[in-house]
Structure 1
Amino acid sequence: MADSKEYMIHQEEAGTIQISEDVLASIASNAALETEGVSALMSANVSDLMGGKKMTSKGVKVELDGENIVVNLFIAVRYGSAIGEVAKKVQKAVHAALEGMTGFKVAAVNVHVGGISFN
């Protein structure tokens, strides 16, 4: 398995499997949004936090670290939810979704809570 700028690549005997960072970000985004207590993904001023790097999908930054995936998620939590518990649930959900759907190893899921929703 090797990585390139935009694809996670796995070399198989029959050929290669390439999954784009956009696909990985979509999987992570959906898993996070389906987690109880998450109201939205955030993108405002996130590029400043990521050292000016472009985010692949709203509220999601996927980095390919050798043979591993590192995900940074920027979320808003519903008012009344235990923020720490929501963040842990997001980490578990995103980790399971990415490894389950792609077969690639997830090194880290970093959750950044940047807001709270009163809806």
Structure 2
Amino acid sequence: MMETSLSHLEQSYDMGRVEIAPEVIQVIAGIAASEVDGVAYMNGGFVGELVEKLGRKNLSKGVKVHLGEHHTVVDVSIVVQYGEHIPDVARQVQHRVKNGIEDMTGLEVVEVNVHVVGVQVSQPVKLNREEK
């Protein structure tokens, strides 16, 4: 579930190069997003679900990374807990993902697009219906 324009992020320093694989950026984004209050879980689609059924925790589930030379765009798909204010949760996800990636990699995050793909209902919803 990863789309990149480079096979890795590479930066040169006096002592050599540092390479950061896109999967690392996905994991950072996935952890940051999943730690936001109101996020029920990340939605990774078929491949993400298959990996988890095989017994491996997929920390990059629901994250797509689009790398430029020194910047990135991140798409995050989440399911929000019922009763949460979706715009607030989405803004917190954007903030946490951007800061997490920038702090750990030095890469500029130009966009964090949050896709709310569902709502998690923990208890049955009672409907007010008049019976005739």
TM range (shorter): 0.7 to 0.9
Equivalent residue number for residue 69 of structure 2: 66
Equivalent residue number for residue 25 of structure 1: 26
* Gapped regions of structure 1 (runs ≥ 5): 47-56
Offset of residue 65 of structure 1: 2.0
Please say if 1:82 is aligned against 2:88: no
Separation in 2, partners of 1:110, 1:8: 20
Separation in 1, partners of 2:15, 2:72: 23
How many residues are matched? 108
Larger Rg over CA atoms: 2
Offset of residue 13 of structure 1: 1.6
Report Cα offsets for 1:72-95 as digits up to 9, x if no partner. 000000000000000000000001
TM-score by length of 2: 0.76
Offset of residue 43 of structure 1: 2.3
Separation in 2, partners of 1:43, 1:118: 19
Offset of residue 4 of structure 1: 6.1
Separation in 1, partners of 2:11, 2:45: 34
Equivalent residue number for residue 35 of structure 1: 36
Separation in 2, partners of 1:78, 1:7: 34
* Gapped regions of structure 2 (runs ≥ 5): 48-59, 123-132
1 or 2, which has the higher strand percentage?
Answer: 1
Identity of aligned residues (%): 39
Q: Provide the aligned C-alpha RMSD in A.
A: 2.0
CA contact (8 A) 2:72 2:110 kept: yes
